[in-house]
């Protein structure tokens, strides 16, 4: 028996923060936004939900016209939250290429549209972290 995999129709966008990667599929719909198959309103903790809702509130009436499915993997809770938020903002701009909306997002927070390239520095030998070493004594 062959298992059929159906592709989601729509436009795909990607956003990253540290090691978290979010992929969003945007299509015409009724305003349903899901993150990892969960409705945005059910996300906990509340602060993470508020961060994810920022681009939705800034988009205004456009948020009611589209459905967005976000799949986030890797990283920690807040890295995934910021990546999902950025993917949602990019999805709105991909759906409607509106210069005014782009300016609104950039003026509010540039990180909505620009991925954060910073990564954790790898640990080195002779210490517990990347740069921390045991204090040396002169006497």
Query: Comparing 18 with 9, which gets the higher pLDDT?
Result: 18
Q: Write out the E strands in the chain.
A: 11-17, 20-28, 33-35, 38-39, 66-73
* Domains of the chain listed by start with CATH number: 11-112 (3.30.230.10)
Considering only the C-alpha atoms of the chain, give the largest distance between any 2 of them, rounded to a whole number of Å. Answer: 75
- Per-residue pLDDT at 121 exceeds 70: yes
- Whole-number average pLDDT of the chain: 90
The torsion of the CA quartet 5, 43, 64, 96, rounded to 10 degrees, works out to -70
The whole-angstrom separation of Cα 28 and Cα 8 is 12
Query: Comparing 3 with 80, which gets the higher pLDDT?
Result: 80
Q: pLDDT value at position 11? A: 87
Closest by Cα among 122, 88, 81 to 105: 88
> For the whole model, what pTM was predicted?
0.86
């Amino acid at each position: 028996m062959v298992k059929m995999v159906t592709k989601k129709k729509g436009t795909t966008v990607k956003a990253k923060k540290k090691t978290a990667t979010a992929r969003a599929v945007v299509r015409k719909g009724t305003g349903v936004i899901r993150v990892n198959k969960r409705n945005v309103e059910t996300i906990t903790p509340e602060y993470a939900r508020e961060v994810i809702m920022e681009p939705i509130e800034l988009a205004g009436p456009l948020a009611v016209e589209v459905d967005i499915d976000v799949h986030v993997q890797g990283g920690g809770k807040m890295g995934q939250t910021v990546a999902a938020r950025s993917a949602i903002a990019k999805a709105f701009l991909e759906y409607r290429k509106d210069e005014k909306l782009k300016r609104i997002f950039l003026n509010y927070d540039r990180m909505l549209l620009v991925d954060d390239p910073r990564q954790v520095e790898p640990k080195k030998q002779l210490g517990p972290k990347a740069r921390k070493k045991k204090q040396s004594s002169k006497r």
